[in-house]
Every structure is written in C-alpha cells, then in structure tokens.
Amino acid sequence: MGWFTKSKETTANSESPKKEDIWIQCPSCKAHIYKEEWEKNLKVCDRCHFHERLTWKERVDMLLDGGSFVELCPKVSWNDPLKFSDAKGPYAEKAAETCEKTGMKESVATGTGKINGIKVAMAIMDFRFLGGSLASGTGEKILQAAMVAVKHKLPYIIISASGGARMHEGIVSLMQMPKTCAALAQLKEANLPYISIMTDPTTGGVSASFAMVGDIHIAEPRSLIGFAGRRVIEETIKQKLPDDFQTAEYLMDHGFVDMIVHRKDMKEMLFKLLKYAGCK
C-alpha cells in the first residue's frame, strides 16, 4: 500500500475531528488544502505547486514498484571522529536523538528496487536527519550502493536533499565529496547510467559533489539548488539577489538542470529515461 493511501487513524470515537486532521495550510502560498487531497497529491500544493520535503520511505513508495525495495547497508551509521561538541552539547547526543526521531542511522537510505520492472540502485537522502547533511556514514552508503550498481550492472539514481557537508564530522565530511565522486567515476568507467535528482534543498558540499555530475539532472519544481548560501553571497557582493536565485528554474535557465519534473510524473519520466539509457 502506498504511503499516501495509508489508512488514517480513525477519529470516529472523538466528538469532532481536529482542524489539522482535516486540512493543512500550504507552507508556501498559505492556501488551505484538504489533507486527503494533499496526501493524494504527494504533498504537492495543487495551487502553487509547492513540493513539500518527503521522507525516504515516501520516496520509495512514490518511485519504486511495490515490494521491490531491498535496503543496502542498513547498519552503516554516523560516526564521531572528532568527538565534536558545540554550544548545544555533544554531537553524539544530537545524532542519537535524531536516530530515535527518524528511525534512520544516517542521512541517506540506499537500496535496490524496480521502476516499472527495471532494476535500479538508489540512494535517497532524507532532510529530517540533521538537514540531510553529508557525513562519513552518508558517503559510505552512497559509495556502497554505487559498488552494487557496478557489480550488478545497474543504473544508479541518487535523490539529494541536503544542506551540505556536516560540520560535526569536520574534514571527514569534506572527504565524502571526493569519496562519492570516486565511486561515481567507477560507474562512469563501467558505462552505467547515473541520474541525479535534486530536491529541496541541494546545496553546499552535496551540490558540489555527487549531485552535479549526473548523466541527467532532474529537479523538483522550485527546489533550492546552489553552492554558497544566499546570505553569504549577498554579504560578499553587497547586492540583493533576485527572488528566484538558486531555484530549480533558475538553474535550468543557466544550463545546470536538464528538466524540472513534477513529483506525480517522476516515476514515469525515470522509466522513460532508463529506457533511452538502454536499461531493461
């Protein structure tokens, strides 16, 4: 069963259902949308086309054939090579809390699955896990999934959702940029397709590594995609940036994204592209 068709908790016993159980407010245009309609629309506002961030499981349900997903390296988790601690306390505590909250061990889930019958390797980032930040476990999982793709001659799809490298693992996080790219170079050497899907947000060390070296770059509408942060750029150049700066549409205008695909059309588009890439 798809996540969007999950049976809702019944409210039959309560006197009247709460407002937030019936409708939600679009975070972008503030329009009120029936929750059922919102879920059916894959968490996209049908008025302004705002795409809400999704969890990795929601992405699996949205893109892969039912029951085809097999998770890879579920045990690979975050590490604390620097024994990092900041004003809010130790990184280890923060990471452990995040694991508890999200049920994940790192900011990415990887696995194999099928898109209309075509077998693919996939890495799906999840923004809930420390802003989808790239750290040692993330890099290792993305590399391992690429190795599975090479071994079994599968196309590779990475869905990015990340603010960039995770400061708490310091230089080790930075090294995940060359590490993931080295894995993709193996894929390239083996002549296997690699499709990069950029979702909101894809910035910093993730945009400056695996997300930007796809054969094909797909972005979800209005996603934030870029290298440096808007505030840093404005402070550097002492100018105000246009409102649509670093949006998916802006990136496409500047030649860095092949296409912007609405979530409801994503699976079908991936299927078509995989066919062109010669996948069976």
- Please choose, out of 11-19, 21-29, 120-128, 173-181, the segment that lies near another protein by the rule CB under 8 A: 173-181
The identity of residue 74, as a single letter, is P
Closest distance between another protein and the C-beta of residue 28, in Å? Answer: 22
What six digits make up the tokens of 165?
A: 């490298």
- Please choose, out of 9-17, 44-52, 60-68, 136-144, the segment that lies near another protein by the rule CB under 8 A: 136-144
Closest distance between another protein and the C-beta of residue 224, in Å? Answer: 12
**Under the phi-then-psi rule, with left for phi > 0, alpha for psi from -120 to 50, and beta for the rest, what region is 199?**
beta
Task: Please state the three-class secondary structure of 53-83 as a single string.
Answer: CCCHHHHHHHHCCCCCCEEECCCCCCCCCCC
- Is 122 a binding residue for another protein by CB under 8 A? The answer is no
In the complex with another protein, the residue whose CB is nearer, 16 or 236, is 236
Sort 13 into a burial class: Cβ within 10 Å, 0-12 / 13-18 / 19+: exposed
- Please choose, out of 30-38, 118-126, 235-243, 263-271, the segment that lies near another protein by the rule CB under 8 A: 235-243
CA neighbor of 181 nearest in space, from 216, 149, 153, 139: 139
Give me the residues paired with residue 121 across strands: 112, 156
| Residue window 176-215: x/- pattern of binding to another protein, with contact defined by CB under 8 A | xxxx-xxxxxx-xx--------------xx-xxxxxxx--
| Residue window 38-77: x/- pattern of binding to another protein, with contact defined by CB under 8 A | ----------------------------------------
CA neighbor of 124 nearest in space, from 53, 52, 51, 208: 53
Q: What span, in angstroms and rounded, lies between the C-alpha atoms of 277 and 159?
A: 18
Query: Where along the sequence are the contacts to another protein (CB under 8 A)?
Result: 79, 81-82, 84-88, 135-137, 139-140, 143, 165, 167, 169-179, 181-186, 188-189, 204-205, 207-213, 226-229, 232-233, 236-237, 239, 241, 245-246, 254-256
